[in-house]
Chains A and B, each alone.
Chain A
Amino acid sequence: AQSVTQPDIHITVSEGASLELRCNYSYGATPYLFWYVQSPGQGLQLLLKYFSGDTLVQGIKGFEAEFKRSQSSFNLRKPSVHWSDAAEYFCAVGATGFQKLVFGTGTRLLVSP
């Protein structure tokens, strides 16, 4: 069965600084990988997804993620963080033949002025 690890529970970044959120997955074949963002009191919004092809994926709100098979990672990046990016970020993995997505425990991003 697939699984996802987000090693950082909280991350604080200064506004304007770069951001990298870590995600490691466990799955034997090529996974389907996702990043979702959840603002307080809101549902989860899809930021980006990777199925195949180019390992660098562009998403909404200026986010990107890179799939690295050798490291089983799918880290989320943003070159310059805005205060409105403060939220909780979830990495998720899916796989062919599996109905559900499996989510990591999330990383809460705090943005300092």
Chain B
Amino acid sequence: DIVLTQSPGTLSLSPGERATLSCRASQSISSAYLAWYQQKPGQAPRLLLFGASSRATGIPDRFSGSGSRTDFTLTINRLEPEDFAVYYCQHFGSSPRVTFGQGTKLEI
């Protein structure tokens, strides 16, 4: 089974800074099936990126994604106050069909 490990568990930054979040897969995966989500307290997750680097509708361009095989990165440039949230990576594969990482909390 594929396991997604996110790091760090918590990232403390200030508005205006750049955040770099990591998602590491236990085996090589296709970037086409790697997505990133943002979740704020009391809200459902929101899709940020799909295909590792394609922004979902309405997502500002300060959010970007990269990576391949086992290492993927979500970068958030020029942090805004509303960006402080929990971020999850997710893979769509064969077995299990869907896997989530454990999340990274981005805090001020």
* A-B interaction: no
Which A residues fall within an 8 A CB radius of B?
none
Which B residues fall within an 8 A CB radius of A?
none
